[in-house]
Amino acid sequence: MTDEIKKKADTVIASTYARFPMVMERGEGCRLWDTEGNEYIDFVSGIAVCNLGHAHPAVVKALSKQAEILFHVSNLYYTIPQVDLAEWLVNHSFADRAFFCNSGAEANEAAIKLARKYFSDKGEKERKVIIAMEKSFHGRTMATLSATGQDKIKKGFDPILQGFDFVPFKDIEALREKITSSTCAVLMEPVQGEGGVRCPAPEYIKEVRDLCDETGILLIFDEIQTGIGRTGKLFAYEHFDMEPDIMTLAKALANGLPIGTMLAKEEIAASFTPGSHASTFGGTPVVTAAALEVMRYMEKENVIGNCQEMGDYFLEKLLVLKEKHKVIQDVRGFGLLLGIKLNTDGKPYVDKCIEKGFLINCIQDTILRFIPPLIVGKEEIDALVMCLDEVLG
Ligand SMILES: *Cc1c(COP(=O)(O)O)cnc(C)c1O
């Protein structure tokens, strides 16, 4: 059966992914099972999405309950779950307003559009250019790939959209030099995820904030990967004692249902007026009901506290591995967004971990990334570390 599915997939599904050979069938907490009955401990979480683990009963209940009442009416009408989720996000962040969409790329599209419209409305019509970071990742739509600082993402898709400049991440002088009277915003991930779990010094982030204030431009944080507790705080900006002007969220917000959000301060959000931006599905009741339950559950059960504790525990274990295995060049990360940089290709190690029943992820060819559900325990971490110790040896 499994081979049949794979064979069929390879003829009917666009081959945009080099998939691993398993057909996944069922999940529970940090565990997944494939159609052959093999069990895996999941340190990928559907790419930092299933923060509460798979098939979480509270989320299943919330979305099932909403599905029985109302699926979708569009944004021509108010719905209760959407309003409640927006209120929750606004009450727990720097922002005053939420715009809902369906993915990370769409949330960044909204942020790019809002930043430009804000200055256009102010009469500063020449301010159009957004400065983004080298090695960043912001999505695969035309605007977001144009904002992404990796050539391999853009290759073959010319013409790339204009209006994006790039500077090296963590280089404040390069940013200072790049800002001109045409700059409207800086767009960055506070910790680069796909770029290799690249962590800035806290001073750098504060200097970026100060520089944006001095020059009167907006600071957009793409927290699509770092948000919703992943780094050990609800939002990564909280590590740096500052606030962005606009923030985008997606991935873990509804624990696996598609959702994106752009959050902004009132003065800036005011530039989105009826007709200026829209999404048919954005913030639809079933998805927002699930997301609201995710937020409430995380708060009630102190899931972020577990993320901090387990993140520290895991990091310590990875540092021990680094002492032991010369193949590890660097250990890095915040909370449960952790990575180890190898001095060689990482893919064979991912395959060996799969053979031993662990899902991990390799980015930028040489970096193994660990992004387990935030409910992960010491038992799972110990088991993976033992597996890594074996395969790296
Ligand atoms: C995943 C990701 C995106 C894109 O999100 P999609 O939902 O795949 O469009 C954008 N920015 C960052 C930082 C991401 O990690």
pLDDT tens for the chain, 393 residues long, are: 889 999 999 999 999 999 999 999 999 999 999 999 999 999 999 999 999 999 999 999 999 999 999 999 999 999 999 999 999 999 999 999 999 999 999 999 999 999 999 999 999 999 999 999 999 999 999 999 999 999 999 999 999 999 999 999 999 999 999 999 999 999 999 999 999 999 999 999 999 999 999 999 999 999 999 999 999 999 999 999 999 999 999 999 999 999 999 999 999 999 999 999 999 999 999 999 999 999 999 999 999 999 999 999 999 999 999 999 999 999 999 999 999 999 999 999 999 999 999 999 999 999 999 999 999 999 999 999 999 999 999
pTM, full prediction = 0.98
The token pair that represents 162 in the structure block: 């204009």
Q: Rounded to whole angstroms, how far apart are CA atoms 56 and 64?
A: 12
Phi and psi at residue 32, in whole multiples of 5°? -130, 150
Q: Work out the number of other CB atoms within 10 angstroms of the CB of residue 144.
A: 27
Task: Tell how far the Cα of 279 is from the centroid of ligand 1, in angstroms.
Answer: 18
Q: Residue 226 CA: which ligand 1 atom is closest?
A: 13
The best mutation among 50, 51, 135, 138 to test binding of ligand 1, ranked by most ligand atoms within 8 Å of the C-beta, falls on: 138
DSSP label at residue 17: S
- List where CATH 3.90.1150.10 sits in the chain: 8-55+302-338+363-392
For ligand 1, the distance from its centroid to the CA atom of residue 356, given in whole angstroms, is: 29
Q: Are 242 and 205 in contact (CB under 8 A)?
A: yes
Strand partners, 261: 100, 249
Those residues with Cβ within 8 angstroms of residue 28's Cβ, 6 or more apart along the chain or in another chain: 53, 54, 55
Q: How many whole angstroms separate alpha carbon 305 and alpha carbon 293?
A: 18
Query: According to CATH, what is the number of the domain 8-55+302-338+363-392?
Result: 3.90.1150.10
Specify the ligand 1 atom closest to the Cα of 105.
9
Give the Å distance between the CA of 265 and the centre of ligand 1.
22
Question: Going by CA atoms, what residue is nearest to atom 15 of ligand 1?
Answer: 225
Q: Read off the DSSP letter of residue 251.
A: G
pLDDT of residue 139: 98
Bond prior to 57 in cis (omega within 30° of 0): no
**What is the pLDDT, as a whole number, of residue 1?**
81
Q: Boundaries of CATH 3.40.640.10 in the chain?
A: 58-300
Burial track 219-236 (b if 16+ CB lie within 10 A, e otherwise): bbbbbbbbbbbbbbbbbb
Question: Residue 36 burial by CB count (10 A; 0-12/13-18/19+): exposed, middle or buried?
Answer: exposed
CATH code of the domain occupying 58-300: 3.40.640.10
Strand order in the sheet with 218-222: 97-101, 260-264, 246-249, 218-222, 183-188, 129-133, 164-167
Q: Where does ligand 1 bind, in terms of residues with CB under 6 Å? A: 103-105, 108, 137-139, 189, 193-194, 222, 224-225, 250-251
Two structure tokens written together for 105: 């790329």
Q: Are 245 and 211 in contact (CB under 8 A)?
A: no
DSSP string of 311-329? Answer: HHHHHHHHHHHHHH-TTEE
User: Considering only CA atoms, which of 57, 58, 56, 61 is closest in space to residue 45?
Assistant: 56
State the closest ligand 1 atom to the C-alpha of 222, by its place in the atom list counted from 1. Answer: 13
Ligand 1 centroid from CA 223, angstroms: 9
Ligand 1 atom nearest the C-alpha of 189 is 13
Task: State the maximum Cα–Cα separation within the chain, in Å, rounded to a whole number.
Answer: 62
